[in-house]
Amino acid sequence: MSVVMPAYNRAHCIARSIDSVLAQTYPDVEVIVHDDGSTDGTPALLADRYGSNPRVRVQRAPNAGVSAARNQAFKLVRGDYVALLDSDDVFYPWKLEVQLACLRHAPQIGMVWTDMRAETPDGQLVEERYLKVAYTNWRRFPNERLFSASVRLADLTPQFANELGTARLWTGDVFDAMLMGTLVHTSTVLLTRERFEKVKSFREDLKFAGEDYDFHLRTCREGPVGFADVVSIVYEVGAADRLTRPEYKVQTALNFLNTVVPMIEAERARIRLPEKMLREVTAEAHRWYAEELALTGQSATARPHFVKALKLEPKLRTAALLGLAYLPEPVRGRLRKLTHALRGLRP
């Protein structure tokens, strides 16, 4: 089994992440670290701490972004299963063994993911079960509606009954639901080699954030998947260098637009969602991008996206935002400052 980990300037935390893989109860695991041009002590730490460990394979290249880093690491994968882990997150010791049991129990599923515990960089608890808090699409699709079958995880791995409690593995085809927004968190994912070979890589044109949604959406397009409804990782939130920082919001919104709209167009014949829901998510994609553009002073670029959103899903709020986008720049500037202040951001 291969665990793929991109890293950039993570000397302060990467050892904890790597060590959590090496401590897995499933022993046949390697870690592939792609150092994406780190300028801190990451290269030295990797060499000193893991240079003689055959289970940790490190490659280094000039900085090219997280998608390129993952794709370069993918070239070194040699396991029958591929796990993804960010360099500031931590696996629970039994994570991979439980997920492997899930894939063996339901060989038709090509991916299994889990819930996660959210903590600050200094270890303070943010949320014990964070997946359904972070990804609001879960509000549309509870487990019973989303999946077609389930089984108790403790029945698959009784040796971890105390850790798993009454948690279940849920399986089914969730491609349609994923079109409305992601349900999957990257560091919790384990893929079969067969499914991995179909998805192949992360899109490198989706810069800064949102590339993982596209990857998981394409994974779900290829067939059934599984959700192990249990916490199996610690996910770090709130770090200053995260790609979820506010300044990346325009690009994140554009990435969502450039993921979901082309996918709906390409797969329309197989999608079973009502037309109303497809119009809703397409309108939301245009509206979100337009709002982020407007908040950065790009009102002229935002206007056609507000218009598209309004045509797809007439809403008073969208019409009001479109009207604001036509106001003189001094007025828009004052409104932007007010909106940023309300968001708790710097203008």
- pLDDT tens across the length of the chain (347 residues): 999 999 999 999 999 999 999 999 999 999 999 999 999 999 999 999 999 999 999 999 999 999 999 999 999 999 899 999 999 999 999 999 999 999 999 999 999 999 999 999 989 999 999 999 999 999 999 899 999 999 999 999 999 999 999 999 999 999 999 999 999 999 999 999 999 999 999 999 988 778 899 999 999 999 999 999 999 999 999 765 555 455 688 999 999 999 999 999 999 999 999 999 999 999 999 999 999 998 888 999 999 999 999 999 999 988 988 888 887 766 555 555 555 554 544 43
For residues 8 and 14, what is the distance between their CA atoms, to the nearest angstrom?
Answer: 10
Angle between helices 275-295 and 316-324 (to 10 degrees): 30
Residues 253, 128 share a domain: no
Q: Is residue 100 part of a domain?
A: yes
Q: Is residue 210 part of a domain?
A: yes
Q: Is residue 241 part of a domain?
A: no
Give me the domain span that covers residue 137.
2-236
Residues 272, 216 share a domain: no
Q: Is residue 84 part of a domain?
A: yes
**Strand locations in 26-129, DSSP E?**
30-36, 56-61, 81-84, 90-91, 111-119, 125-127
| Contact (Cβ atoms closer than 8 angstroms) between residue 133 and residue 251 | no
Block residue for tokens 């119009």: 279
Torsion sign across C-alpha atoms 296, 300, 305, 306? positive
Residues 287, 153 share a domain: no
Residues 225, 269 share a domain: no
Last residue of a domain, one of 236, 263, 291: 236
- What is the total residue count of the chain? 347
Domain count, the chain: 2
Non-local (6+) Cβ contacts of 344 within 8 A are: none
Is residue 89 classed as helix, strand or coil in its secondary structure?
A: coil
Residues 99, 172 share a domain: yes
Residues 230, 116 share a domain: yes
Residues 280, 214 share a domain: no
Residues 130, 16 share a domain: yes
Q: What is the pTM of this model?
A: 0.91
For residues 99 and 248, what is the distance between their CA atoms, to the nearest angstrom?
Answer: 32
Give the tokens for residue 302. 């935002």
Q: Is residue 326 part of a domain?
A: yes
Residues 93, 220 share a domain: yes
Give the tokens for residue 138. 């879960």
Q: Is residue 51 part of a domain?
A: yes
Last residue of a domain, one of 236, 255, 273: 236
